[in-house]
Structure 1
Amino acid sequence: MHPDQLHLHEELLLLALHDTKGTLGGAHTSIGLGGAIAAELLLQERIRIDESRRWRKLVEVRDIRRTDDFILNECLKRIRSANRRASIQTWITRFSSMRKLHHRVAEQLCARRILQADEQEILLIFKRRVFPEIDPGPEREIIERLRAAIFSDDREVEPRTVVLTALAHAVGLLNPTFGRGELRPRKQRLKSLVKGDVIGRATANAVEAAQAAVAAAAVMPAIIASSTSSNSS
C-alpha cells in the first residue's frame, strides 16, 4: 500500500464520525470496523478463506509478514496464535470486541493529522474522548469514490471502493452520507455492488467479509437482549 492510502477501517471510521463533534454515529460501527479489518487483511492477501469445506469455510494465514498498521498486525497475530481455525464471522466478532477499537483507529487518523483528539464533559461529571475532523480532504475523497461507484453504471470499479461500499451499506452509513431519497433509485446498483457482480474472485472474499459483518450486526441486538433477560431473571 502507498503510505498515504488509508486502510478500510480508517475510511469507515471517517464516515461514521461526526465531522465537527467527533462523536460516533451508527449503531453497528464496531462490528463494521471488525469487518473492515478482516476485509483489509484479505485484500492485502495476508489471510485467505479455505473453501475446501462447503459448510465451514475457515480463515488461515497466508502471509506472516508485518503490515504498516499496528491494528492489522495485532489481528494477524491473533489468527496465527489461535488454537483452532475459525470462520470469518467469528474473527469479525472477535476483532470488533477489541478494547477501545474505534479510539485506536481514530488515534491512527490523528497521527495522520486528519482528526484531532479532544475531551468532552458530559453533565459536568463524565468525560469522553471525541475526535473532530481537522482535515476534511480525505473524507471528501472517500465520499466521491463512493458516489462514483453508486451513481454510475460503470462495470470497472476499484476493488477497495467496492468493499468499502459494501461495509458502509452493511452498517447503515450510506443513508446519512447521501440521503435515503437519493439512494432509493440506485437500489439495484447497490445490490449489484454488494453482491460483488463487478469484481473478481480475489476481492469477492473481502466483500463476503463485509456481508458477514452485517450478518453479525443483525444478530447482535438479539444477543444483547438475551443476555439482559438472563441477568435480570
Structure 2
Amino acid sequence: MPAKISLTLYEEMLLLALDDRKGTTGMSAWHTTAMGGVILAELVLMGKLHIGADKKKMVDAEPGAQVDDPLLSECLRLVQDAKRRKRGSEWVAKFAGLKDLRNRAARGLVSKGVLNESSDKVLGLFPRTIFPTRDGGPEQALIARLTDAVMGDSDRIDPRTMVVVAVANATALLEKAIPKKDLKGRKARLKQLSEGQLAAGATGEALQAVQAAQAAVAAALIATTVATSAATS
C-alpha cells in the first residue's frame, strides 16, 4: 500500500480549485482568500499563532516559533516581524496576496507527486504554467472526508476538516466536492461546522482556528468585493 501523502490545508484548498484535467484555475480573489484563510487556521492549529478572545480578534505569534513548510514559514515570519498587531482578516488578505501563491503551492504538490507541472498557450499565443493531476488519490480522499463531514451526522469532526469545510463553503469551493443540490439541504449542518461546534477534542486552538478562518475569510471577501466595486464604478 502506498504511503499516505500528507497535505497542508492550503494544498487541499488548491486541489479543490484546480481543474483536474486542464490543471488550471482562475484563482479569483475568492480562491486566494480561501488559501489565505486556511494558512491562518493552520498556523493557529499548530500553536504558532494565537487569536485574541476579545472583539478585536488580534493575531499574535508564538515567540521564537518556526515551521518547516516554506509558505507557512513565510506567513509566520510576516506576523512575527509586523510593526503593529493586525486582525485575522487583515492577515488573511496579506497571506492571499503573497507573490505567485498559486504556483508556489502547486509546486509543493508537484514535489509530493500529486500534480505534474507543464505549460501550454492560451489561444495558441500566451504561455502559461499548468498543473494537471498526476495522482488523484489525495483529492479523492479529501472529497470523501468533506462529504462525510457535511452529509453525515457525526458530532466529532476533525478540526482540520472543519476548517476546510468552513472556508470552502464561504468561498463557493465546497461545490467542487459536493453537488450544490446536496448542500442546500445541509445548511444547519454547515452552520455547525463553520462555527466549530462539532470539533473532536475541541481545544481552544481548534475552535479558534475554525471560527477565525470562517470570520476572517468572510471579512476579507467583503473588503475585496467593496474594493472591486469601487474600482469598476
* TM-score, normalized by the shorter chain, greater than 0.5: yes
Is 1:19 equivalent to 2:23 in the alignment?
no
Deviation at 1:107, TM superposition (A): 0.6
Deviation at 1:9, TM superposition (A): 0.3
What RMSD, in angstroms, separates the aligned Cα atoms of the two structures? 1.7
Measured at CA, do residues 7 and 63 of structure 1 come closer, stay the same or move farther in structure 2, by a change above 3 Å? Answer: farther
Q: 82-91 or 168-177, which moves further after superposition?
A: 168-177
Return the alpha-carbon distance in structure 1 between the equivalents of residues 76 and 27 of structure 2. Answer: 26
Return the alpha-carbon distance in structure 1 between the equivalents of residues 131 and 219 of structure 2. Answer: 28
Q: Give the conservation status (yes or no) of the 8 Å contact 2:147–2:177.
A: no
Which amino acid is the alignment partner of residue 14 of structure 1?
L
Deviation at 1:3, TM superposition (A): 9.0
Deviation at 1:65, TM superposition (A): 3.4
Return the alpha-carbon distance in structure 2 between the equivalents of residues 215 and 47 of structure 1. Answer: 19
Q: How many positions carry a matched residue from both structures?
A: 226
Paired position in structure 2 for 1:220: 224
Return the alpha-carbon distance in structure 2 between the equivalents of residues 151 and 178 of structure 1. Answer: 9
Q: Which aligned pairs between 1:141-220 and structure 2 lie closer than 5 A?
A: 141-199=141-199, 200=202, 201-211=204-214, 212-220=216-224
Return the alpha-carbon distance in structure 2 between the equivalents of residues 44 and 58 of structure 1. Answer: 17
Identity %, equivalent residues: 36
Q: Which aligned pairs between 1:1-233 and structure 2 lie closer than 5 A?
A: 4-25=5-26, 27=28, 28-51=30-53, 54-62=54-62, 64-199=64-199, 200=202, 201-211=204-214, 212-229=216-233
Question: What are the Cα deviations for residues 27-63 of structure 1, in whole angstroms up to 9, with x where unaligned?
Answer: 4100111101101100101010122xx3322111115
Q: Give the conservation status (yes or no) of the 8 Å contact 1:8–1:164.
A: yes
Return the alpha-carbon distance in structure 2 between the equivalents of residues 134 and 4 of structure 1. Answer: 13
Deviation at 1:26, TM superposition (A): 6.4
Deviation at 1:168, TM superposition (A): 1.0
Q: 63-72 or 154-163, which moves further after superposition?
A: 63-72
Q: Give the conservation status (yes or no) of the 8 Å contact 1:48–1:60.
A: yes
Return the alpha-carbon distance in structure 1 between the equivalents of residues 84 and 222 of structure 2. Answer: 26
Question: What are the Cα deviations for residues 161-181 of structure 1, in whole angstroms up to 9, with x where unaligned?
Answer: 111111111110112321111
Q: Give the conservation status (yes or no) of the 8 Å contact 2:27–2:102.
A: no
Q: Give the conservation status (yes or no) of the 8 Å contact 2:42–2:209.
A: yes
Question: What are the Cα deviations for residues 188-207 of structure 1, in whole angstroms up to 9, with x where unaligned?
Answer: 11111111111223212111
Structure 1 length as normaliser, TM-score? 0.91
Measured at CA, do residues 214 and 46 of structure 1 come closer, stay the same or move farther in structure 2, by a change above 3 Å? Answer: same
Return the alpha-carbon distance in structure 2 between the equivalents of residues 95 and 114 of structure 1. Answer: 23
Which amino acid is the alignment partner of residue 47 of structure 1?
L
Deviation at 1:144, TM superposition (A): 0.7
Return the alpha-carbon distance in structure 1 between the equivalents of residues 136 and 110 of structure 2. Answer: 13
Q: Give the conservation status (yes or no) of the 8 Å contact 2:150–2:189.
A: yes
Q: Give the conservation status (yes or no) of the 8 Å contact 2:17–2:176.
A: no
Question: What are the Cα deviations for residues 119-141 of structure 1, in whole angstroms up to 9, with x where unaligned?
Answer: 12012221111111110000001
Structure 2 length as normaliser, TM-score? 0.91
Unaligned regions of 5+ residues in structure 1, if any? none
